[in-house]
A and B are shown apart, each in its own frame.
Chain A
Amino acid sequence: MISDIFIMSLDALRSHKIRTFLTIVGIIIGISSVIIVTTSGASVEKFIEDQWNVFDPTGMVVGTGSAEPIPQISFGKTVFTDKDVENLKNLPHVRDVAPVGIVPLKKISQKEGFLKWISMPGGSMFASSSAMLDVLSLKIKEGRIFEEGKKEILVTENMLNIFGEDKELKVGDEIYLQRLDGIPIKSKIVGIIKASEDFNILSQLTTPSILGPINPYYSTFFGSNVGKPLKRVTAYGMLYATASDKASIEIAKNEILDFLNSGNSDAINYKQKNVDFVVISQEYILDRVQQILNAVTMLITIIALVSLIVGGVGIANIMYATVTERTREIGTMMAIGAKRRYILQLFLFQSMIVGFLGGILGCILGGSGSVLVVSYLGSYVEQLASGAYTGKIFVVYSWEWFIISLFFGIVIGILAGILPARKAAKMDPVEALHYQ
């Protein structure tokens, strides 16, 4: 019996194709918006996660700035000394600490023959300890690590062709690094860093193309002599650190802050009174990004759900009109033996089918629409990065939202159908038969 009623409901919808379609459109728009919003949210979230994957997962950045309300590091103030680095390394939950010495370069040159030079404008190089490789999860592909105090450098794979395809650099080659003070340092390439597999915005910023020891590249001319004049102290604006494991990130962070603030550190003497020590873990940044994304996704999802409810009101409206329009039919069906229950089911099925079809079509439209939206987001990010390689945004479907939306579509359909269907089932057959 119930399957017969179902088929009759389908027939009724089929006999008003345009009306049915227009009613379904309301639901399609609602459902597909929800799908597009949640899919885009999930895709962007995955993209941002990938951006931060370059660090060791326990990695954190130590600097100065403001701790409240949102931790922020302001670069440029050099306060951390080598002694601080050593002390931080010895904290129980800290695995390693690398000083970050940024050395701006004017030119990178190679001697091609007698009095013949080939030069490239330089970016900047990183001067640090071997710990830098560990913190940034970098691998040496060929050669060895530099020795402190020697004019030895590591270069990344993608640096090798800077002087041209035919003049590929190799281990043992010597290049001249000209700093802003003008003096070129003749440096020997002792190793090649494997290019990061997760190539993205952050790896471009954080992976040094040239990495050398603090001495002679950083300490010689870049020192901080805040505090005691005449005494030259090497100091850094920023340190990279890792915790002993993922569970200890918070503990390590607190140990670092406690030490720096304790008075046993040099940094406390060099920093200005109104700035704080700040430690930002990769985990913290990811959490923050996720929180913001979730909030945005939630907000837009709520708007999309409202449009779904509007679609539901549309169904209810059309069902009311249909019930009124078919009053005589309802009377006739009652006269030829339809129980009130059947009439109720007949109209409930119709609105349920509309909700279900709207749900299915909305999922299909939303699923394919997400591809367009995400690829648009991708080109937008590329535009923002203005040419720098950023990695790709892939479509990440959050399937639970497909199920939720489909379910919601059916529920909306049923809810929208209840009142009109009850109205139909409660009709007085005599009045219905004579309805004009």
Chain B
Amino acid sequence: MLKDVAVDIQSVTKIYKTGKKEFKALNNVSLKIYNGDFLAFMGPSGSGKSTLMNLIGCLDRPSSGEIYIHGQSLSKLNDNQLAEIRSKEIGFVFQDFNLIPSMTALRNVILPMTLSGSPRSAREQNAMSLLKKVGLDNWAKHLPTELSGGEKQRVAIARAISNNPLIVLADEPTGNLDTKTGEQILKFLSSLNKEGKTILLVTHDSSLIKYTNRVINIKDGEISEKK
């Protein structure tokens, strides 16, 4: 059975210009990511893996080439439409957690639902069940500053999946955590993958690839598949 394509990257090149200097961050990259993949992007810093994540996450546009998410071409979309794709189709997990410091854990999880305009009545209940899922329902009313790193990242994961997106982008999610906590986070992402979500993980920790089913190496803006 042929799996559905979640993200289709076709001959994408990304060039950054700083003054007169040009820097080719991605060079003619093509890649198909299927629904249900747990895929790791690996490579040294500056290799272009973050650039690729930004492009897949609709935060940036390629200099040339085309990206399709669930069959939809991104190049024809304006800023508002890209924001809507980010809101509904993609969940972000960051290395630094990036929780809003003035909001409680619960409000942080509610935020994407607010921004996507989902019905107000369902928001809090959804957010509570997500916090329960990551084991933090007792911490709902606490501010991020009162949580440990692992707890913050679990709140961030709950936030990432609150609009029930099919794709979760995790950019070095264990980078600021100790090994044991990092493993917990990976196990959690793995369980989400088993529920059917496509997980794209950026890491340079090779010990984490045991959770993934595909590994893409990136070096100098070019990719090669390993696993």
Binding site for B on A (CB under 8 A): 1, 4, 8, 11-12, 14-16, 328-329, 331-342, 429-430, 433
B95 to chain A, nearest CB (A): 10
Q: Which of B84-92, B125-133, B219-227 is found at the contact surface with chain A?
A: B84-92
Q: Mark B109-129, 1 if CB is under 8 A from A, else 0.
A: 001101111001000000000
Instruction: Chain A residues near B114: list those with CB within 8 A.
Output: 1, 4, 8
A sample of 11 cross-chain residue pairs with beta-carbon separation below 8 angstroms, ordered by A number, consists of A1-B114, A15-B102, A334-B59, A334-B83, A335-B92, A336-B112, A337-B84, A337-B116, A337-B163, A339-B79, A433-B94
B169 to chain A, nearest CB (A): 9
Cα-based distance from A430 to B111 in the complex (angstroms): 19
Cα-based distance from A11 to B112 in the complex (angstroms): 16
B205 to chain A, nearest CB (A): 20
Decide if A332 touches B59 in the complex (CB within 8 Å).
no
Decide if B83 touches A332 in the complex (CB within 8 Å).
no
Instruction: Chain A residues near B11: list those with CB within 8 A.
Output: none
Do A1 and B117 contact each other (CB < 8 Å), given the known contacts A336-B92, A340-B80? yes
Decide if A339 touches B100 in the complex (CB within 8 Å).
no
Cα-based distance from A14 to B103 in the complex (angstroms): 11
B187 to chain A, nearest CB (A): 23
Instruction: Chain B residues near A433: list those with CB within 8 A.
Output: 59, 94, 98
Cα-based distance from A332 to B160 in the complex (angstroms): 11
B57 interface residue (CB < 8 Å to A): yes
B212 interface residue (CB < 8 Å to A): no
Decide if A336 touches B86 in the complex (CB within 8 Å).
yes
Decide if B103 touches A336 in the complex (CB within 8 Å).
no
A326 to chain B, nearest CB (A): 9
Which chain A residue has the least Cβ–Cβ distance from B60?
A430
B54 interface residue (CB < 8 Å to A): yes
Which chain A residue has the least Cβ–Cβ distance from B102?
A15
Do A337 and B98 contact each other (CB < 8 Å), given the known contacts A4-B114, A11-B103, A433-B59? no
Do A430 and B83 contact each other (CB < 8 Å), given the known contacts A11-B103, A333-B115, A337-B116? no
B152 interface residue (CB < 8 Å to A): no
Binding site for A on B (CB under 8 A): 54, 57, 59-60, 79-80, 83-84, 86-88, 91-92, 94, 96, 98, 100-103, 107, 111-112, 114-117, 120, 159-160, 163
Which chain A residue has the least Cβ–Cβ distance from B98?
A332
Instruction: Chain A residues near B86: list those with CB within 8 A.
Output: 334-337
Decide if B79 touches A337 in the complex (CB within 8 Å).
no
B23 to chain A, nearest CB (A): 14
Cα-based distance from A306 to B115 in the complex (angstroms): 39
One of B57, B60, B84, B100 near A329 (C-beta < 8 A): B100
Do A339 and B111 contact each other (CB < 8 Å), given the known contacts A334-B59, A429-B59? no
Decide if B59 touches A335 in the complex (CB within 8 Å).
yes
B60 to chain A, nearest CB (A): 5
Decide if B111 touches A336 in the complex (CB within 8 Å).
yes
Cα-based distance from A331 to B60 in the complex (angstroms): 12
Decide if B102 touches A11 in the complex (CB within 8 Å).
yes
Which chain A residue has the least Cβ–Cβ distance from B51?
A430
Cα-based distance from A340 to B80 in the complex (angstroms): 7
Decide if B115 touches A338 in the complex (CB within 8 Å).
yes
Cα-based distance from A1 to B163 in the complex (angstroms): 16
A8-B114, A329-B101, A337-B115 known; 4 new pairs, CB 8 Å cut-off, are A11-B103, A16-B102, A335-B57, A337-B88
Decide if A336 touches B87 in the complex (CB within 8 Å).
yes
Cα-based distance from A233 to B144 in the complex (angstroms): 100
Which chain A residue has the least Cβ–Cβ distance from B100?
A329
Which chain B residue has the least Cβ–Cβ distance from A328?
B98
A424 to chain B, nearest CB (A): 14
One of B59, B80, B96, B159 near A339 (C-beta < 8 A): B80
One of A11, A14, A16, A336 near B115 (C-beta < 8 A): A336
One of B79, B96, B117, B159 near A336 (C-beta < 8 A): B159
A434 to chain B, nearest CB (A): 9
B168 to chain A, nearest CB (A): 12
One of B83, B101, B107 near A337 (C-beta < 8 A): B83
Cα-based distance from A328 to B95 in the complex (angstroms): 13
The 9 closest A-B pairs by CB, nearest first: A337-B87, A15-B102, A332-B98, A337-B115, A339-B83, A429-B59, A336-B112, A4-B114, A335-B92
Cα-based distance from A1 to B117 in the complex (angstroms): 6
Cα-based distance from A1 to B88 in the complex (angstroms): 16
Do A337 and B59 contact each other (CB < 8 Å), given the known contacts A1-B117, A11-B103, A332-B94? no
Do A332 and B100 contact each other (CB < 8 Å), given the known contacts A339-B79, A430-B59? yes
A337 to chain B, nearest CB (A): 3
A327 to chain B, nearest CB (A): 11
Instruction: Chain B residues near A4: list those with CB within 8 A.
Output: 114, 120
Instruction: Chain A residues near B163: list those with CB within 8 A.
Output: 337
Instruction: Chain A residues near B117: list those with CB within 8 A.
Output: 1
Cα-based distance from A430 to B53 in the complex (angstroms): 10
Instruction: Chain A residues near B92: list those with CB within 8 A.
Output: 332, 335-336
A323 to chain B, nearest CB (A): 14
Cα-based distance from A334 to B98 in the complex (angstroms): 12
Cα-based distance from A328 to B59 in the complex (angstroms): 14
Instruction: Chain A residues near B57: list those with CB within 8 A.
Output: 335
B84 to chain A, nearest CB (A): 7
Cα-based distance from A428 to B60 in the complex (angstroms): 8
Instruction: Chain B residues near A332: list those with CB within 8 A.
Output: 92, 94, 98, 100
Do A430 and B100 contact each other (CB < 8 Å), given the known contacts A333-B111, A336-B115, A337-B115? no
Cα-based distance from A337 to B96 in the complex (angstroms): 18
A12 to chain B, nearest CB (A): 6
Cα-based distance from A8 to B103 in the complex (angstroms): 9
Cα-based distance from A341 to B114 in the complex (angstroms): 14
Instruction: Chain B residues near A1: list those with CB within 8 A.
Output: 114, 117
